[in-house]
Amino acid sequence: MVLVDARNPLNIGAAARAMSNFGFSRLRVVNPYDVAFQGARSAVGAAPVLASAEEYKTVAEAVADCSLVVGTTAIGHRDLQHSIQRLEAGAPVIRAHIASGNCALLFGSEKFGLSNEDMSHCHWLMHIPTRDEHTSMNLGQAVAVCLYELSRDPKALAKPGKGIAASAAEAERITETLLIALRASGYPKLNSSQSFQSAVRRLVRRLRLQQGDAEFLLGMLRQMVWKLSKNEESED
Amino acid sequence: MVLVDARNPLNIGAAARAMSNFGFSRLRVVNPYDVAFQGARSAVGAAPVLASAEEYKTVAEAVADCSLVVGTTAIGHRDLQHSIQRLEAGAPVIRAHIASGNCALLFGSEKFGLSNEDMSHCHWLMHIPTRDEHTSMNLGQAVAVCLYELSRDPKALAKPGKGIAASAAEAERITETLLIALRASGYPKLNSSQSFQSAVRRLVRRLRLQQGDAEFLLGMLRQMVWKLSKNEESED
């Protein structure tokens, strides 16, 4: 990660924090605004990355030991001479390269981005796909998004929900207890019999209850049935 | 996007800016620190999103019209009662839901994240995969990464490089001109003949020159050949 001409200490600190979050450790800064760099060194949650950050005077020196140099840009109205890739498409190329050699990912200043001279050190450019009407991202956020994509696991699968689905027997116990509670409460539609019972049964199935929740709900219903029957007795 | 108990105006502003970058427009804030919210309203590059931001007193009111509520968390040491998904796996579920109904994505305060009470309004939780040693992300960066993933195009393909690859004839012209220039310069290995010429030919092919670059390079070489032959003449 190479920050060129960064001016705001909060952004340098934020970039370092994102590096720490996503497991990138080598930060280089080119020509930082001195006060900013010193300010950033004290930023929260990024201490080790910032402590070992290296300072360079030129882009050429900062990327000298890298065999792939990729610049980031917001694609404004500049006529870019480089090939430019969307982040999703560029990241796999960078990941593949990292396996065998160093890659420098360049970010320009908050206001102007990378200069044409900075870009001429790059093999190609990468941009984060944003809305055409608002392509300019905050530096710290742009860094976080790029590093997230680089460490993203395309094979990450959805985890199944916690717990085990309730069995049909459990669902049926709930259905029966609910019908008893409704009967005891004088629920009006109850007399329409079979079709209503089926509607309640389907409702309970649609809840897709988990085992623990089925027991939880059954306990509540039984308590209500008990109280309802007790009230019935006292009314008699 | 729902920010709960946000305290830092810079973070609210950054969240709004990322929303604008990635094309999300409806920001809701629950119980914001008043000064922070007023401060954020003047943040750069996020004006329309912040101007239309809605303020709520409770999470329940803020998510009332949403049919899917997803909370974000850094998974610390808390014992979470919810099912939790990695961002890569959760995002497609959210995208699918948005097609038919509203979804609220909740972010907690900078210091404490979402409370257990806040989380109880959620259908499930989502976390950004980070290094185990440093899971806590800056709020503005976490928002940017989540919205990037939500608007990410998994089918984005690498674009071919600009321009057209140079033809074999062009590569051969460069090879020949380079050999002439080397001969004129008295390059030592030149006499070892055929195998050296083949080595130069292979070198030129490995450059994978584009058409424009092939012409550019040929022009340079021809100029050198011309100057070398002229010097030769004057030496005679």
If asked whether residues A175 and A98 sit together in one domain, one would say no
> Do B18 and A138 count as a contact with CB atoms less than 8 A apart?
yes
In a domain, residue A159? The reply is: no
If asked whether residues B176 and B87 sit together in one domain, one would say no
Last residue of a domain, one of A150, A183, A210: A150
| Assembly ipTM | 0.81
User: DSSP 3-state helix, strand, coil percentages of chain B (rounded to 5)?
Assistant: 50, 15, 35
In a domain, residue B183? The reply is: yes
Positive or negative, the Cα torsion across B142, B22, A125, A43? negative
> Do A156 and B45 count as a contact with CB atoms less than 8 A apart?
no
**C-alpha span between B183 and B190 (Å, rounded):** 7
Which chain B residue's Cα is nearest to A147?
A: B145
pLDDT tens per residue, range A39-95: 666 666 667 888 888 999 999 999 999 999 999 998 765 667 788 899 999 999 999
pLDDT tens per residue, range A142-180: 999 999 999 998 787 777 666 788 888 899 999 999 999
Mean pLDDT of B189-210: 83
Residue A24 pLDDT grade (very low, low, confident, very high; cuts 50, 70, 90): very high
If asked whether residues B174 and B131 sit together in one domain, one would say no
Last residue of a domain, one of B90, B120, B151: B151
Q: Which residues of A touch B137 (CB under 8 A)?
A: 17-18, 21, 144
E strands, chain B, in order: 2-4, 28-30, 54-56, 68-72, 84-86, 103-107, 124-127
In a domain, residue B114? The reply is: yes
Average pLDDT along chain B: 87
Query: Which residue type does A115 have?
Result: S
Q: Hunting for tokens 């984060």 — which residue is that?
A: A128
For B26, other C-beta atoms within 10 Å of its C-beta total 13
Structure tokens at A112: 């102007």
In a domain, residue B10? The reply is: yes
In a domain, residue B221? The reply is: yes
In a domain, residue A189? The reply is: yes
If asked whether residues A90 and A58 sit together in one domain, one would say yes
Last residue of a domain, one of B151, B182, B209: B151
Please give the residue that has the higher pLDDT: either A167 or A193: A167
If asked whether residues B55 and B111 sit together in one domain, one would say yes
If asked whether residues A191 and A134 sit together in one domain, one would say no
If asked whether residues B214 and B112 sit together in one domain, one would say no
Q: Minimal Cα–Cα distance from A90 to chain B, Å?
A: 7
**C-alpha span between B10 and A229 (Å, rounded):** 59
Domain carrying residue A123? 2-150
If asked whether residues A67 and A102 sit together in one domain, one would say yes
Whole-number pLDDT of residue A43: 60
**C-alpha span between B160 and A85 (Å, rounded):** 9
**C-alpha span between A15 and A29 (Å, rounded):** 11
Whole-number pLDDT of residue B78: 64
pLDDT tens per residue, range B127-170: 999 998 888 899 999 999 999 999 998 787 777 666 688 888 99
Whole-number pLDDT of residue A76: 62
> Do B137 and A149 count as a contact with CB atoms less than 8 A apart?
no
If asked whether residues A109 and A211 sit together in one domain, one would say no
Q: Is the pLDDT of residue B40 over 80?
A: no
Q: Select from B21, B90, B149 the Cβ nearest to the Cβ of A130.
A: B21
Cα–Cα separations (whole angstroms), residue A95 to B20, B23, B129: 29, 28, 17
The DSSP letter of residue B47 is: H
Which chain B residue's Cα is nearest to A82?
A: B162
Helices (H), chain A: 9-22, 34-41, 47-51, 59-62, 87-98, 116-119, 139-150, 168-185, 193-206, 211-235
- The answer to whether the beta carbons of residues A8 and A138 sit under 8 Å apart is no
In a domain, residue B110? The reply is: yes
If asked whether residues A136 and A179 sit together in one domain, one would say no
In a domain, residue A17? The reply is: yes
Q: Is the pLDDT of residue B55 over 60?
A: yes
**C-alpha span between A28 and A26 (Å, rounded):** 7
If asked whether residues B86 and B198 sit together in one domain, one would say no
Q: Which residues of A touch B89 (CB under 8 A)?
A: 156-159
Q: Minimal Cα–Cα distance from B154 to chain A, Å?
A: 7
Q: Which residues of B touch A14 (CB under 8 A)?
A: 138, 140-141
Whole-number pLDDT of residue B183: 87
- The answer to whether the beta carbons of residues A218 and A173 sit under 8 Å apart is yes
Q: Select from B20, B128, B161 the Cβ nearest to the Cβ of A83.
A: B161
Q: What is the DSSP string of A119-134?
A: HTT-SEEEE----TT-
CATH at residue B111: 3.40.1280.10
Exposure b/e, B186-198, CB count within 10 A at least 16 = b = eeeeeeeeeeeee
Residue A68: in which H helix or E strand, if any?
strand A68-72
**C-alpha span between A222 and A180 (Å, rounded):** 9
pLDDT tens per residue, range B81-131: 788 899 999 999 999 999 888 999 999 998 889 998 899 999 999 999 999
Structure tokens at B223: 């100029």
Instruction: Please count the structural domains in chain A.
Output: 2
Q: Hunting for tokens 């809605």 — which residue is that?
A: B54
Structure tokens at B202: 């292979």
Q: Is the pLDDT of residue A28 over 90?
A: yes
Structure tokens at A34: 């001195």
If asked whether residues A109 and A11 sit together in one domain, one would say yes
